[in-house]
Structure 1
Amino acid sequence: MKLSFSEFKNSNHKRLTLLGMSGVGKTHLAKLLSHQDKYFHYSSDYRIGAKYLNDKILGNIKNHVKQDKWLKDLLDKESISIQNHITFDNLSSVSTFLGKTGNPELGGTSIDTFIARQIMHLNAEIKTMLDVPQFIKKAKAQGFNHFINDAGGSLCELDNEQVYQTLSDNTVILYIRASKTNEIALIKRAQTHPKPLYYQANFLKHELDIYLQENQLIYIAQINPNKFVRWVFPRLLEHRKPKYEAIAKKYGYIIDNEDLYQCRSANEIFELIYRAMN
């Protein structure tokens, strides 16, 4: 049930789920709030990599290491070990595992492996979001008055009513809507630093078909992985925007990131949220 303005304002335990693309200001909001009070920061990407995909990530790394016979022998004899040193600030092991589909000679992943890992990520993200109530209890037991669920940009892609209802029942879902200027900046960043992304299966198939046709290619293995990410990102952004809006309309509230970046304190953040809830 969506928390009302008065319920949220009068609550001694502020609990938020931050919704939106990476780069819209979720970290900015979390840092401002943390300066005022004690917040438990729950990172979905960290939880996915540290818990639900950890074994798969390590298995993938070991398979690459074993391509070198000398390292394979050391690993098989347990003379060396491999660990996943994931942190809130360094999630590269997750993105490397997810990968980019396309030409293997250019660092691409085969489409079958890519789709399998996309499904793994989807299932892991669902479990991670359903873990939120459990972590709220843990946070309270550890003395944290407040809770921030820093959700990944692909939360809107889950299309899972159980997840959204669970988050709505336990937190205020806050969609940080990107301005046109911010969207341009996000697209520019994707052009200069193309990152692995999660795509819904139907969206991915549709976009790959268009890309192949536009570039007169026959096989996905001919695709330059980075070029595809640069090309598809603006289309993914447009694909996700109505999904974010729909979740916020049914389960949460909306603030604009231009307004968010005008905030310089936690009190100003809350005034912005209160206005959105009224």
Structure 2
Amino acid sequence: MKMTPQQFLDWESKSITLLAMSGAGKTTLSNKLPKDKWFHYSGDYRIGTKYLEEAILDNIKQQAMGVPFLRDLLKSDSIYICSNITVENLAPVSSFLGKIGNPNLGGLSLAEFKRRQALHHQAEINAMNDVPEFIHKAEAIYGYKHFINDAGGSVCELDNPEVLATLAEHTVLVYIKIPESLEQTIIDRAKLDPKPLYYRPAFVDEKLHDFMQINGYSSTDEINPDAFVSWVFPQLFKSRVPRYEAIAQQYGYTVSAEAVAKVTSEEDFMALIADAMAHQHV
């Protein structure tokens, strides 16, 4: 949604989508907004509690069935398993995505990895397509005046123009750009604590081929799952930047992560977006 700074400031019920790599400050920024006025919609939370809920639970149950004590209790319906996903704790979603590699080190076969990636891809599309409905629900049912969509870091990887058009029609898209001075910090942090991520199929095919050639692997079962995730993250980071920039140029606006980090109030946030609008063509 494109508008002038004044139109944005005068907009009575604001709806904003935040786009950025993990670590840019989307969730931290959302949490700075008054919770009685802003409905916080987390794409990853919606994925985990709606579209991947059954798959996540099946994965947990499969692991539990490998433990005789738990298997017997599950089969006799003596216990049940549920995931405790929150906006702040999305670990069940990450654990479901998993990592390619040696199964003895917790890795997944390539076929299973791609199956889970495909499920996540569709789940993220569904979660973003739910945004218009939740904008309506947030105000009509719960009385929230404004709406913030904390989109997952992989929205730029969906290759689905219809999703972006839907978000742009109903929200102002704001891309939080990580400055070069902070890029290496985020890359180093991700390499120290490698987390499962969604990758475009073509990207993972290309990078996995390169990784296996460099290390002389003939099978993904030889791969240390953490090693591949750490190795590929800097390349993933670099590949996503132009995708985010293209989305912002066509549909929205760009603000810097440094400026976002200085936001301390709702007024600061509104001024930041209005300033971005003033400096970009409407």
1:109 aligns with 2:108: yes
Distance in 2 between residues matched to 1:156 and 1:228, nearest whole Å: 21
Q: Structure 1 residue 49: deviation in Å?
A: 0.4
| TM-score normalised per structure 2 | 0.95
1:32 aligns with 2:32: yes
Residue identity opposite 1:121 in structure 2: H
Where does 1:162-241 land on structure 2 (aligned, <5 Å)?
162-241=162-241
Distance in 1 between residues matched to 2:72 and 2:274, nearest whole Å: 60
SS of the residue 1:34 aligns to: coil
Question: Which deviates the most, 244-253 or 266-275?
Answer: 266-275
Q: Structure 1 residue 215: deviation in Å?
A: 1.0
- 2:123 corresponds to which residue? 124
- 1:93 corresponds to which residue? 92
Query: Following superposition, which runs of at least 4 residues in structure 1 exceed 4 angstroms of deviation?
Result: none
1:139 aligns with 2:138: yes
Distance in 2 between residues matched to 1:131 and 1:101, nearest whole Å: 30
Preserved contact between residue 187 and residue 234 of structure 2 (Cα < 8 Å): yes
Sequence identity (%): 49
User: How much is the aligned-residue C-alpha RMSD, in angstroms?
Assistant: 1.3
1:248 aligns with 2:222: no
Residue identity opposite 2:105 in structure 1: L
Question: Which deviates the most, 1-10 or 144-153?
Answer: 1-10
Gaps of 5+ in 1: none
SS of the residue 2:174 aligns to: strand
Residue identity opposite 1:147 in structure 2: F
Preserved contact between residue 20 and residue 244 of structure 2 (Cα < 8 Å): yes
Distance in 1 between residues matched to 2:202 and 2:164, nearest whole Å: 21
Distance in 1 between residues matched to 2:264 and 2:66, nearest whole Å: 51
Q: Structure 1 residue 73: deviation in Å?
A: 2.1
Preserved contact between residue 255 and residue 273 of structure 2 (Cα < 8 Å): yes
SS of the residue 1:112 aligns to: helix
Distance in 2 between residues matched to 1:265 and 1:50, nearest whole Å: 30
Preserved contact between residue 20 and residue 244 of structure 1 (Cα < 8 Å): yes
- 2:81 corresponds to which residue? 82
Residue identity opposite 2:101 in structure 1: G
Preserved contact between residue 42 and residue 87 of structure 2 (Cα < 8 Å): yes
Q: Number of aligned pairs?
A: 277
Preserved contact between residue 13 and residue 146 of structure 1 (Cα < 8 Å): yes
| TM-score normalised per structure 1 | 0.96
Distance in 2 between residues matched to 1:252 and 1:60, nearest whole Å: 38
- 2:273 corresponds to which residue? 273
Q: Structure 1 residue 133: deviation in Å?
A: 0.5
- 1:72 corresponds to which residue? 71
Preserved contact between residue 24 and residue 177 of structure 1 (Cα < 8 Å): yes
Question: Any idea what the Cα deviations from partners look like across 1:153-177, whole Å, max 9, x if unmatched?
Answer: 0000011111101111111000000
Preserved contact between residue 24 and residue 182 of structure 1 (Cα < 8 Å): no
Question: Any idea what the Cα deviations from partners look like across 1:156-200, whole Å, max 9, x if unmatched?
Answer: 001111110111111100000001122111111112110001000
Question: Any idea what the Cα deviations from partners look like across 1:34-87, whole Å, max 9, x if unmatched?
Answer: 27x610000111110000000011111111111223322221111110111111
Residue identity opposite 2:123 in structure 1: A
